[in-house]
């Protein structure tokens, strides 16, 4: 399991845990995944065919600097592996951009 921030195209973002598998990541974004590097320890995962599928603009995810469509995930990165999203990114989303991240599945 990894801790992520889910940024849906519509609705409130949430901090939750999901299985650290390709299938789980694809299910969360609704298609094949594409990663966008945000920092050395953090990336955004989106549907690589989101524009082709005419998915709606994701205003929350687009606050991070790119025009993102469809649902997006923020995850941590260690080498080639996905890990828990850094706590600093959770604070940034809550504080800097006013994104209300609710805890869907509290992490112990």
Rounded to an integer, the average pLDDT of 46-68 is 92
Domain assignment of residue 85, given as a range: 2-101
Note whether residue 33 is domain-resident.
yes
Q: Please, which pLDDT band fits residue 104 given cuts at 50, 70 and 90?
A: low
106 part of a folded domain: no
Which range among 12-21, 44-53, 66-75, 91-100 shows the weakest confidence by mean pLDDT?
Answer: 91-100
Task: Note whether residue 67 is domain-resident.
Answer: yes
pLDDT of residue 101: 57
How many angstroms separate the CA atoms of 81 and 64, rounded? 22
- Is the pLDDT at 53 greater than 60? The verdict is yes
**Tokens describing residue 12:** 């409130």
Q: Please state, for a pLDDT cut of 90, what percent of the chain lies above it.
A: 69
Q: Is 49 buried (19+), middle (13-18) or exposed (0-12) by CB count in 10 A?
A: middle
Q: Domain for residue 108, yes or no?
A: no
Q: What is the mean pLDDT of the chain?
A: 89
In a domain, 53, yes or no: yes
Residue 107 lies in a domain: no
pTM to 2 decimal places: 0.87
> pLDDT value at position 94?
79
Please give the tally of structural domains in the chain: 1
Residue at 17 is within a domain: yes
Q: Is residue 41 part of a domain?
A: yes
């Amino acid at each position: 399991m990894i801790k992520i921030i889910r940024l849906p195209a519509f609705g409130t973002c949430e901090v939750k845990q999901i299985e650290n598998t390709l299938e789980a990541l694809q299910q969360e974004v609704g298609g094949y995944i594409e990663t966008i590097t945000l920092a050395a320890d953090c990336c955004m995962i989106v549907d690589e065919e989101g524009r082709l599928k005419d998915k709606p603009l994701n205003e929350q995810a687009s606050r991070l600097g790119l025009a993102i469509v469809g649902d997006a995930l923020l995850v941590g990165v260690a080498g080639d592996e996905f890990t828990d999203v850094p706590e600093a990114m959770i604070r940034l989303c809550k504080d800097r951009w006013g994104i209300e991240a609710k805890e869907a599945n509290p992490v112990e």
